[in-house]
Amino acid sequence: MADASAGNNAGSTSSAEVQIQIPAGPPKAEPGAPSKNSGAKNWRWWMMVSVDVFFVVAGQTSATLLGRYYYHQGGSSKWISTFVQTAGFPILFLALLCFPKSSGGGGASGDAPVAKVAVIYVVLGLVIAADDMMYASGLKYLPVSTYSLICASQLAFNVVFSYVLNSQKLTGLIFNAVILLTLSDALLGVNHDETEDMSGMPRGKYLMGFLLTLGASGTYSLILSLMQLTFENVIKKHTYTAVLNMQIYTALVATVASMVGLFASGEWRMMTEEMDTFRSGQFSYFMTLVWTAVSWQITSVGVVGLVFEVSSLFSNVISTVSLPIVPLFAVLIFHDTMDGIKIIAMLIAAWGFVSYLMQHFIDDKKARKAERVG
């Protein structure tokens, strides 16, 4: 799922990005006020960020591997794979209970029109369903290591949509990241045998999986940008609850849309047969789907937590930390090949990731300095 948050302070500076900024770092005491509790607040902030990072990395890694395991063991329904990506959204209601409604920076500037917000949730939910479908198809047709590397291109798309929709300045580091991530994907796109890959997948389906995964990564970045615009121009609430509501209701729409697709396509009739022919058994089939859904929602909780505690850009960047992790597990579990071109593509993508992270660090440092001066 995509994430979004609203912000003040540094979020209104010239370094506009495809995210809704919130104050970075632990809460600061008022000037001249006693700071005897600042140590405890800092410790709590770092603990929360660490837990959220773990949720994002572990949740996304396990969800991707379980999604591939479903296909590897004989599953074939793309609509079922799409459905489980958002079907676990009721778990997010637990997160709503854990945090007070008043938490979050800034105040609300009036209630947004319910009808307008509902329409936006429906549109975003349908886009998310389409995005999940592309991800599910890409995972079906690609080795999971290749799939994971292509997904890193969401950072490059993030820059493009930020430049077009949010007037972000293209610095040298950001431009370097875009070029490197594009080159990494280009290497993966041409690194394929003329007829089939090691798993026997025809070249046409490999290319289809490549294009669908690339399209899904771009759509994910577009979703982030659209959510930002919604928070800034329509919802205008800077609270954790508002972010979670966005996650929950768009996931609800996406889940309903994927259910409609499941029944309209007739793939629901395959579930009994899939269960019976699943190589590791019926119970394993059921648990694979359940834990895939749970893993995606654990990821969502971590994503929302990082948006709230740091920023949505940081959350988006952390989601690519699994880049070198998933391919390694894929080699061990699914015996994916890790040839020289794929290793080079992974290193180039990691270089692009570091360039992107460095720009975020520089922007954050400037914002903090400006805040101190002000």
Q: Which segment, 40-44, 115-119, 287-291, 349-353, is predicted with the most confidence on average? A: 287-291
Question: Do the domain assignments include residue 359?
Answer: yes
pLDDT attached to residue 341: 75
Question: Do the domain assignments include residue 18?
Answer: no
Bridge partners, 179 (sequence order)? none
Question: Do the domain assignments include residue 42?
Answer: no
Cβ-Cβ contacts under 8 Å for 327 (sequence gap 6 or more): 144, 145, 148, 149, 336, 338, 342, 346
Domain that holds residue 124: 48-99+111-371
pLDDT attached to residue 261: 94
256 confidence band (pLDDT: 50, 70, 90): very high
pLDDT attached to residue 322: 66
Local structure of 196: helix, strand or coil: strand
Question: Do the domain assignments include residue 145?
Answer: yes
Question: Do the domain assignments include residue 3?
Answer: no
**d(C-alpha 368, C-alpha 370), whole Å:** 5
| pLDDT, tens digit, 9 for 90 and up, residues 144-166 | 778 877 887 777 787 777 677 65
104 confidence band (pLDDT: 50, 70, 90): very low
Strands (DSSP E) contained in 115-162 are none
Question: Do the domain assignments include residue 315?
Answer: yes
> Residue range 206-211: average pLDDT?
88
| Percentage of the chain exceeding pLDDT 90 | 22
Residue 241's closest CA among 93, 59, 112? Answer: 93
Residue 133 confidence (pLDDT) above 90: yes
Q: How many domains does the chain have?
A: 1
Question: Do the domain assignments include residue 10?
Answer: no
| pLDDT, tens digit, 9 for 90 and up, residues 293-320 | 999 988 888 877 776 677 656 676 777 7
pLDDT attached to residue 98: 74
Orientation of helix 340-373 relative to helix 144-151, angle to 10°: 30
Question: Do the domain assignments include residue 121?
Answer: yes
pLDDT attached to residue 22: 37
Residue 282 confidence (pLDDT) above 80: yes
